Structure 1
Amino acid sequence: MSKPRLLFLTIFTMLVAGLNFPIGKIALSFGSPFILLAIRFVVAGLLMLPFIAKRPHPRSSAAWMKLATIGMFQSAFVMSGIYLSMQTISSGSSSVLSSSNPIWFIVFSFLIFGIRYRLLQWAGVIIGFVGVFITQGLEMQMQSGFWFALGAGMAWGMATLLSSRWGGEFDAWVMTAYQMLIGGILLLIASPLLEEPYFVWDSSHLLKELFVLGWMILMSSIVQFVTWYYVLRHSDPNQANVYLFLIPVFGVLSGWLHWYTLAGTLCIGLGIYLVNRPGRREVIQDQFTIKRAMR
């Protein structure tokens, strides 16, 4: 796949993910977090089943366990943490903390798989995260939602790591459908245990509720996950993952544009550049490859 097309798909995914936060905040006005997410993922997964019937499915119990683990982290842990956080903090603050994903991705990659990163890449991740805070006007609400959103960021980092390591074993559409179904079923089971479940149809705001649910099911779930898994499969996950820092920027841009949004965006751009900047050995290898091709 060409780099421009891959970049477009990556930015598109980040845009959809950024808009999910204000839309999720609206959804919480008529439903409890676990019920909303269970509806979102179960319906999205069921809608996809007819389209994946003839696609290759996992054949071993080990493969299904991997798929279930991805669904547990990606659909259950990440999204429940985000929605629980938005009950006590703003959607902007939730997007900032949950988008700490790239930091946890690198930390878990180093701790679990022993992958080593250059100092410049670590610096790029840190600068990108600082830029995310700047986009929020350097304000952060330290409430219970803070810890839920931070936990969501950690779970997201682990989910991305597992998806990048195991995703090549699965068809992207099959992986998307079943990880959502599994995550949705887990959330449905957890709802009566961890919350007071409720879902209310308000006839005076019916169109708004239908739009929000439609966005959550179609765009936030099916389109976003299929595109993201496709990007992870066709690019370096270390480089693709850092673009998640753009999520809170797009969330903020859905409202008013402030000076600190621009300043934070510059920091995020610098962070992305540093993480994606090839090391000296990579540059030398590329030059060597070019010279050989010219002979």
Structure 2
Amino acid sequence: MRNLRIMLLTVFAMLVSGLNFPVGKMALAFGSPFVLLAIRFIAAGLLMLPFIAKRPHPRRAADWLKIAVIGLLQSALVMAGIYLSMKTISSGSSSILSSTNPIWFIIFSFLLYRVRYRAVQWAGVLIGFAGVAVAQGFTVQLESGFWYAIGAGMAWGLATLLTSRWGKAYDTWVMAAYQMLIGGVLLLAVGPLLEQPHFTWDPDHLGKELFVLGWMILMSSIAQFVAWYYVLMNSDPGKANVYLFLIPLFGLCSGWLLLGEPLHAYVLAGAVCTGIGIFLVNKPRPAKAVQAAVEGSGAGAEKRQCPAG
């Protein structure tokens, strides 16, 4: 039952994440990226405060700093990069480029924690980056949106790595609420330096705007973040990351359904390549190989080989 719950929550988080791209692009019609994201995260964090008041809170300054770092990466940098990217590229392309985060996860795990990976996983890294090239039609599009989306993928990969290592020490709901609040405040503070802040209520499209804001606050923030943090804290993050290849597919399909964005064959091929790369990056070792490594080197050495970071 626990494994089924984790799988359902993982797929739910991926579906919501994929839908967030076209919904976010809809929001850009009536607000600037930093204002929209600040509203989204601050409102979500404040709504959660009454429900977490009696839950265990961090006591040390170092713990609050870790939550702040996760908020900076996950709520501020990831989402700012995604929203800024969609000003110049399609929501589908943004979903593919930013969803390279499992590839960055393995790179940062190796660089920061010296986690050792197998050849098949490094092959996944190369195939994943090849998928990015294919999705762009084998041309390097130098629009700012390309780089914003790639930067979002990097920040997302690092956020996933740090959450998997630090998050087990904190209550899921408490960490989700405060990292969103911190991220929202940071976005609100730096917004005027990086954009012309604006937010406009359109009486002719009020229902649409309320729906988009409600989705961003309740689904994209509270439901998705809590579900994803629960998965990362209660399962192997490497196995959970396998499901992330669903995000660009959900993003492409929802962009086509909701925004009428074209589904070019090379974009779909790029999404498939990226998905294969992500799968190989997170491919577990065969059971026999794991058992042999344990018997030959001891459990401690085997743990250092684990792709979960």
- Normalised to the residue count of structure 1, the TM-score between the two structures is 0.89
* Structure 1 partner of 2:26: 26
Q: Distance in 2 between matches of 1:84 and 1:269?
A: 24
- Residues 1:207 and 2:215 aligned together: no
Q: Distance in 2 between matches of 1:163 and 1:266?
A: 27
Structure 2 residue aligned with 1:278, among 273, 279, 285?
285
- Residues 1:110 and 2:118 aligned together: no
Query: 1:8 offset after TM fit, Å?
Result: 2.1
Change (3 A) 1:170 1:213: same
* Structure 2 partner of 1:166: 166
Alignment-mate amino acid for residue 290 of structure 2: E
* Structure 1 partner of 2:306: none
* Structure 1 partner of 2:15: 15
Change (3 A) 1:173 1:139: farther
Tell me the secondary structure at the aligned position of residue 151 of structure 1.
helix
Q: Distance in 2 between matches of 1:285 and 1:142?
A: 45
Q: Distance in 1 between matches of 2:136 and 2:9?
A: 25
Change (3 A) 1:175 1:64: same
- Please say if residues 136 and 261 of structure 1, whose CA atoms lie closer than 8 Å, have aligned partners that are also in contact: yes
* Structure 2 partner of 1:187: 187
Query: 1:139 offset after TM fit, Å?
Result: 7.0
Q: Which stretch shows the higher mean deviation, 31-40 or 250-259?
A: 250-259
Q: Distance in 1 between matches of 2:157 and 2:277?
A: 17
Alignment-mate amino acid for residue 281 of structure 1: A
- Please say if residues 132 and 248 of structure 1, whose CA atoms lie closer than 8 Å, have aligned partners that are also in contact: no
- Please say if residues 128 and 277 of structure 2, whose CA atoms lie closer than 8 Å, have aligned partners that are also in contact: yes
Query: 1:241 offset after TM fit, Å?
Result: 2.2
Alignment-mate amino acid for residue 174 of structure 1: V
Deviations along 1:10-36, whole A, 9 cap, x unmatched? 121111101101110110010011000
- Please say if residues 96 and 133 of structure 1, whose CA atoms lie closer than 8 Å, have aligned partners that are also in contact: no
* Structure 2 partner of 1:37: 37
**How many positions carry a matched residue from both structures?**
286
Deviations along 1:23-58, whole A, 9 cap, x unmatched? 101100100110000000000000000000110000
Change (3 A) 1:98 1:265: closer
Alignment-mate amino acid for residue 23 of structure 2: I
Alignment-mate amino acid for residue 165 of structure 1: R
- Please say if residues 91 and 252 of structure 2, whose CA atoms lie closer than 8 Å, have aligned partners that are also in contact: no
Q: Distance in 2 between matches of 1:197 and 1:81?
A: 16
Deviations along 1:158-182, whole A, 9 cap, x unmatched? 1111111100111000000000000
* Structure 2 partner of 1:80: 80
Q: Which stretch shows the higher mean deviation, 30-39 or 275-284?
A: 275-284
Q: Distance in 2 between matches of 1:158 and 1:43?
A: 25
* Structure 1 partner of 2:297: none
Q: Distance in 1 between matches of 2:139 and 2:203?
A: 37
Structure 2 stretches of 5 or more lacking a match? 257-261, 295-309
- Residues 1:248 and 2:248 aligned together: yes
Q: Which stretch shows the higher mean deviation, 97-106 or 196-205?
A: 97-106
- Please say if residues 131 and 270 of structure 2, whose CA atoms lie closer than 8 Å, have aligned partners that are also in contact: yes
Matches within 5 A, 1:114-129: 114-129=114-129
* Structure 1 partner of 2:65: 65
Query: 1:100 offset after TM fit, Å?
Result: 1.4
- Normalised to the residue count of structure 2, the TM-score between the two structures is 0.85
Alignment-mate amino acid for residue 282 of structure 1: V
Pairwise CA RMSD? 2.3
Change (3 A) 1:125 1:185: same
Deviations along 1:180-221, whole A, 9 cap, x unmatched? 000000111111222111000000000000000000001100
* Structure 1 partner of 2:234: 234
Q: Distance in 2 between matches of 1:9 and 1:133?
A: 31
- Please say if residues 14 and 247 of structure 1, whose CA atoms lie closer than 8 Å, have aligned partners that are also in contact: yes
Query: 1:3 offset after TM fit, Å?
Result: 3.0
Query: 1:278 offset after TM fit, Å?
Result: 2.1
